[in-house]
Amino acid sequence: MMSQSMEKSKNIKLTIGSTNKKIDKQILRTDYVLQRYSDRWSNLMKSNLISDILQDNPIPSLIFAEQIVNGMEIIWLLDGKQRTTTAYSFAQNGFKISKNIRRFMIEYYVPVLDENHNIVRDDNGFPTYECKQCDIRGKFFSDLPEELQDKFLDYSFEIVKYLNCSAEDIAYHMQRYNEGCPANVAEKGIFKIGERYAECVKAISNKCFFKDNFKTELYNGKANRIIIEAIMLSNFKNDWNSSYDKICEFINENATFDQFYHFEDLVERLNNCLNADSIEFLFNSKNKKNLSLWLALFSKFDNLKLSDDNFDEFIQAFNEKLHFKKINGVSFDDLMENKSTKDKNPTIKRIDFLIQLMADFFGVAVKTVEGEDITDDDYEEFAMNFVSDDVAAKCLASTKDCPDEVFNSETPKTIVEWCKSECIPKDLDKCLNYKSIIINAGIDEWDENLPYYIYGVKYILDQHPEIEISGWIASAKENDITDRTFVKDSATKYINKKVINVDERSVA
């Protein structure tokens, strides 16, 4: 088991050969969920780095974060991913050195050999060497002289290593270093969405729908941004914000895992139902900026219970003529004349227009304005996520200040009626989010105390959203939960203990 240290960080050195071995053994990980994609450097940029290494030129330090997982050390690469993966790839013969590099003649020394291939020594018995040069242009690693191969693998990276980090520490340091790096808006925004949802976003961006049709957008964070904005438009349209950071923060606080899983399924279905012309239309340079609108529109189409192939028909009709069809004197082309592509008002107008246009095309009624009242359909869809209507009603009531006489009622109808009068659609989403947290912490959805767990999780997160919640769930699981007062007292003790520990660590 790894021992813990009071040090926060230390400076170390590792050779490329050692770093590559740690990558192979997955001790050094370059795939932290908040990490940006690699493979963003051109071949020339990679080649110039190889040239600098072979010249023994200094390069900026790498940033590592140590995390203890199951008693073993895992090292996350926070900054320097391009440098590290480039060196790793070159050592695996992953690419040839560009012919356009800045400095291509590399000096190296070899021992002088006599006619019997023995090393020639001077009068003091020391080996003698001669200087040679190698033109490294167009060469793989295996094409280099053995001396340069050894020199490359023996090159030492300067490393700043943060010790004994939590997940929050890693995200904090990663954001710090990216603030000083050329990360774009899309890449920085995903830090705001948090580790739990960032993994969902990246799983969606790795679907064929994006990988087959995006090039640089997949690796510069734009695909992630499209996904997050589409989820925002699909589920929280009226809370749209022109700031991508604000959208990510909102998603982090209000979205549920079920929404991400549903959206992942939608993307898979969309990829299967669209023909080549429709794909080309969505991903051409003109329409790509509207892709989040079309993804959100497909989520609305899903409510129509039509065949997915019908959506492909609508896209073809839109591409041919519907884009200039007017509704209330305005066409989609007219709406796109406003160059403010991210502002709230034009964004909502565009998605509402597409929804209405789609409704007219199929001859159905589609709700474009999100109401604040819970409809019967809203509640039925919500209740389907629970093992019974009774459990669904009590779980939802737990997220509000529901009177005990209603909450403990033996008649589920009483609770349902109270919830419908007191709750809004956002409350349904929040309740599902709390449920996801609890299920992910190991509580069975059949557990009769699920409403009490939800009550406790909400109580803690409302006061201290930064507190890790699984510890309370584990402790509550070991005790007999009797009522909400018991849960509240237990949660209060947990909060006080956590806050005191944080304060003590800060003083230390």
Give the pLDDT score at 144.
Answer: 95
Condensed to tens digits (0 to 9), the pLDDT of residues 477-487 reads 887 777 888 89
Condensed to tens digits (0 to 9), the pLDDT of residues 189-199 reads 566 676 667 87
Give the pLDDT score at 248.
Answer: 87
pLDDT > 90 in the chain, percent: 28
Closest alpha carbon to 59 in 83, 88, 41, 81:
83
Q: What is the pTM assigned to this prediction?
A: 0.46
Give the pLDDT score at 355.
Answer: 92
Domains of the chain by start residue, with CATH: 9-99+147-170 (3.90.1530), 184-360 (no CATH), 376-507 (no CATH)
Condensed to tens digits (0 to 9), the pLDDT of residues 148-178 reads 999 999 999 999 888 888 877 777 777 666 6
Backbone Cα Rg of the chain: 29
pLDDT band at residue 388, thresholds of 50, 70 and 90? confident
Estimate to the nearest angstrom the gap between the alpha carbon of 69 and the chain centroid. Answer: 21
**How large is the average pLDDT for residues 16-32?**
87
For 172, list phi and psi in degrees, rounded to 5.
-65, -50
Has residue 411 got a pLDDT over 90?
no
Structure tokens at 391: 């459990």
DSSP β-bridge partners for residue 330:
327
CA 208 to CA 233: how far, in whole Å? 22
CA 148 to CA 141: how far, in whole Å? 9
- DSSP characters for 109-161? EEE-B-TTSPBPB-TTSPBPEEEEEEE-TT--GGGS-HHHHHHHHHPEEEEEE
**How large is the average pLDDT for residues 448-457?**
91
Give the pLDDT score at 417.
Answer: 80
Has residue 60 got a pLDDT over 70?
yes
Q: Tell me which of 33-42, 313-322, 499-508 is least confident.
A: 499-508
Q: Is 36 helix (H, G, I), strand (E, B) or coil?
A: coil
Condensed to tens digits (0 to 9), the pLDDT of residues 92-117 reads 999 999 988 888 999 999 989 888 88
Return the number of other C-beta atoms located less than 10 Å from residue 89's C-beta.
Answer: 17
pLDDT band at residue 215, thresholds of 50, 70 and 90? low
Estimate to the nearest angstrom the gap between the alpha carbon of 371 and the chain centroid. Answer: 30
CA 464 to CA 266: how far, in whole Å? 34
Give me the sign of the Cα torsion angle 443, 449, 453, 454.
Answer: positive
Give the pLDDT score at 181.
Answer: 47
Q: Which residue has the higher pLDDT, 138 or 256?
A: 138
- Name the strand (E) or helix (H) holding 48: helix 43-54
Condensed to tens digits (0 to 9), the pLDDT of residues 232-272 reads 998 888 888 888 888 888 888 888 888 888 888 899 999 99
Has residue 26 got a pLDDT over 80?
yes
Give the pLDDT score at 504.
Answer: 38
For residues 454 and 395, is the Cβ–Cβ distance under 8 A?
Answer: yes
Give the pLDDT score at 424.
Answer: 76
Has residue 365 got a pLDDT over 50?
yes
Has residue 445 got a pLDDT over 70?
yes
DSSP β-bridge partners for residue 74:
67
448-469 core/surface letters (b: 16 or more CB in 10 A; e: else): ebbbbbbbbbbbbbeeeeebeb
What's the length of the chain? 508
CB-based burial label for 400 (10 Å; 0-12, 13-18, 19+): middle
